[in-house]
Amino acid sequence: MDKKIIIAIDGFSSTGKSTLAKELAKHLGYVYVDTGAMYRAVALFAMQKGYIGKDFFDIESLIKSLPFVKLVFKFNPDLGFAEMYLNDVNVEKKIRTIEVSSYVSKVAEISQVRTKLVEQQQEMGKNKGIVMDGRDIGTIVFPDADLKIFMTASPITRAERRFKELQKIGHDVTFDEVLKNVEERDYIDTHRDDSPLVMAKDAIEFDNSNVSKQEQFEKVLKLVVL
């Protein structure tokens, strides 16, 4: 039986972490977990409950409501990957909006939120054979992961990618709005007190500013030692 490992992929927003992680998981026959989707789902929950908005954030109410937040990934055979369900409702499309993006880093700063989700994430990787991407996978969730990748690219490059993605699915946003969101998330992610975005000492840094998705996949796959 082939040895199964844990692959942790961290990095800044819109660096293509999820795309790479999905491809690796599919190729290796591993479980893929998009931790960003979990934080986005909690942000969506906070929005739906009226806990967060442009000028306010009722952190205490969100913390008290965490026991009522049920997050489950359900595999969609037509898409070839698992979708995020929040309290039994498919929210995969809703959590990808620019509005959710503008709040997710603020929600992810909350220690109680991180504790709840990290516990779930560690349980998912108990039997290895998993590819997980996020902000603190190689540093907090799986500090002993067998392979750690840290992905980066310039803010302009990442904003261009995100802008095209949003346009493709019909969201009415400007490039400046997307760039501002990318830069704001970078700042919050790297400056929060609890589990800030940092590259693990034993991670391999991968700048994909000028690399195609196929080249990226092939280069990272060579790093996988089973």
Pick from 11, 9, 15: nearest CA to 159: 15
Name the pTM for this structure.
0.84
- Which pLDDT belongs to residue 129? 92
Structure tokens belonging to residue 39 = 């934080």
Pick from 15, 17, 13, 12: nearest CA to 132: 17
- Which pLDDT belongs to residue 74? 86
Q: Residue 32's beta-bridge partner residues?
A: 131
Q: How far is CA 147 from CA 59, 128, 204, in A?
A: 35, 12, 8
- Which pLDDT belongs to residue 106? 94
- Which pLDDT belongs to residue 226? 64
- Which pLDDT belongs to residue 77? 83
pLDDT per residue as tens, the chain (226 positions): 468 999 999 999 999 998 999 999 989 989 899 999 999 999 999 999 999 999 999 999 999 999 999 999 888 888 877 899 999 999 999 999 999 999 999 999 999 999 999 999 999 999 899 999 999 999 999 999 999 999 999 999 999 999 998 898 888 899 999 999 999 999 999 998 888 999 999 999 999 999 988 999 999 999 997 6
Q: What single-letter DSSP state applies at residue 92?
A: T
- Which pLDDT belongs to residue 1? 43
Q: What single-letter DSSP state applies at residue 57?
A: E
Tokens 């490992």 sit on residue: 5
Tokens 């750690």 sit on residue: 148
- Which pLDDT belongs to residue 152? 96
Cα 205 from Cα 152, distance rounded (Å): 7
